[in-house]
């Protein structure tokens, strides 16, 4: 968190005014140095000097919020326990929407730095991934491709997989490969026809060679809030639970060991297989909540994970499962 301290003088000089305005836009509003420079009509180097001077003068104060220390400790434990390259743990929220927003904001900041030139990114769907767009402020990159890893839904919705893929790609100026099919089709024959005869096979080939795969996880239970549950019937939900399903990753329904549960739904889901996603050079898993811990662990067993982004409750529950 950042706090700007008011100066003691009644009138600020032009230089100090520029310095404080730059600091406010950069730290509190989240603009890039380039954006701040354009907004204030000065060079980027001027902004860099102004920000540095603001910190030296104590006009900008940076500190770690109460509770963040525990988040860092949890992140370190997750990295050691699960062999992760990186874990990012954010403070908990009071409800599902708040958790998705908090984890999503951390994901957006991560992706802003992680995406490079000549990068192919495969993306899933969910509230958390959609929330990442609020903090996704990447520099323009060259020859980036965004690949949607699963089909969409007919109703216009903020969490439509296709909508998320397109918005992510447009913010970075990337090519976008949309999974133009319903998420659920009526039969395995329809699925094969769409893949083999309607051009979707190209998506499957691209998914075999991803630099970054970004996915989320949903839990499966009568009280769960996973978006996939809005697409299946109560009977199908009960059948999945009885078959040992603990959650879904991109509508791939998994048991506690990360194995695909036996159910006819698997033949009807238009989604890249998780075994292909596991080949990505860097797998990012972003979701939160204690109730999803067992689904997170199952997905990591199946797909692997390089970067895990979750909340305090999810982190504690994951560590409790292993201990």
User: SS3 of 145, please?
Assistant: strand
Query: pLDDT at position 9, please?
Result: 36
For the beta carbon of residue 35, count every other beta carbon within 10 angstroms. 16
What SS3 state is found at 34?
helix
**In the chain, which residues have pLDDT < 70?**
1-14, 16, 61-68, 154-161, 222-230
pLDDT of residue 260: 94
Q: What is the per-residue pLDDT across 4-15, written as a single tens digit (0 to 9) for each?
A: 443 433 333 457
Provide the pLDDT for residue 4. 40
Query: What ranges do the domains of the chain cover?
Result: 2-62, 68-322
Q: Give the pLDDT confidence score for residue 228 in this predicted structure.
A: 61
Q: What is the predicted pLDDT for the residue at 62?
A: 60
Residue 222 is predicted with a pLDDT of 62
User: Cα 7–13–19 angle (5° rounding)?
Assistant: 70
CB 136 within 8 A of CB 112: yes
Residues contacting residue 113 through CB under 8 Å, at least 6 positions apart: 138
Q: Can you tell me the distance from the alpha carbon of 148 to that of 178, in angstroms, rounded to the nearest whole number?
A: 5
What pLDDT score does 7 carry? 40
Torsions phi, psi of 43, nearest 5? -80, 160
Helix residue spans in the chain (DSSP H): 14-23, 33-40, 44-56, 68-82, 96-114, 127-131, 161-172, 188-197, 201-206, 234-242, 274-277, 293-303, 312-322
The pair of three-digit structure tokens given for residue 204, joined into one six-digit string: 């499957």
| Topology of the domain comprising 2-62 | Arc Repressor Mutant, subunit A (1.10.10)
> What kind of fold does domain 68-322 have according to CATH?
Rossmann fold (3.40.50)
């Amino acid at each position: 968190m950042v706090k700007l301290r008011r100066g003691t003088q009644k009138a600020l000089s032009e230089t100090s005014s520029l310095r404080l305005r730059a600091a406010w836009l950069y730290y509190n509003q989240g603009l890039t140095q380039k954006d701040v420079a354009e907004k204030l009509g000065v060079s980027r180097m001027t902004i860099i000097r102004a920000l540095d001077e603001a910190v030296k003068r104590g006009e900008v104060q940076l500190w770690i919020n109460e509770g963040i220390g525990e988040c860092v400790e949890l992140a370190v434990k997750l990295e050691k326990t699960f062999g992760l390259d990186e874990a990012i743990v954010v403070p908990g929220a009071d409800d599902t929407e708040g958790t998705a927003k908090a984890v999503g904001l951390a994901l957006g900041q991560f992706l802003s730095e992680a995406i490079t030139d000549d990068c192919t990114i495969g993306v899933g769907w969910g509230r958390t991934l959609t929330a990442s767009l609020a903090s996704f402020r990447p520099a323009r990159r060259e020859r980036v491709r965004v690949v949607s890893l699963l089909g969409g839904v007919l109703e216009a919705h903020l969490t439509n997989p296709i909508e998320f893929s397109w918005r992510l790609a447009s913010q970075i100026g990337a090519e976008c490969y949309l999974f133009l099919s319903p998420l659920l089709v009526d039969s395995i024959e329809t699925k094969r026809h769409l893949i083999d005869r309607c051009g979707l096979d190209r998506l499957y080939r691209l998914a075999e060679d991803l630099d970054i795969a970004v996915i989320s996880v949903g839990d499966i239970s009568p009280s769960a809030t996973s978006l996939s549950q809005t697409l299946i019937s109560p009977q199908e939900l009960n059948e999945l639970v009885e078959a040992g399903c603990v959650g879904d990753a991109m509508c791939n329904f998994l048991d506690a060991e990360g194995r695909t549960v036996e159910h006819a739904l698997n033949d009807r889901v238009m989604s890249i297989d998780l075994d292909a996603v596991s080949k990505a050079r860097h797998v990012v898993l972003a979701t939160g909540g204690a109730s999803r811990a067992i689904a997170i662990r199952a997905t990591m067993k199946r797909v692997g994970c390089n970067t895990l982004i979750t909340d305090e409750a999810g982190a504690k529950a994951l560590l409790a499962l292993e201990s």
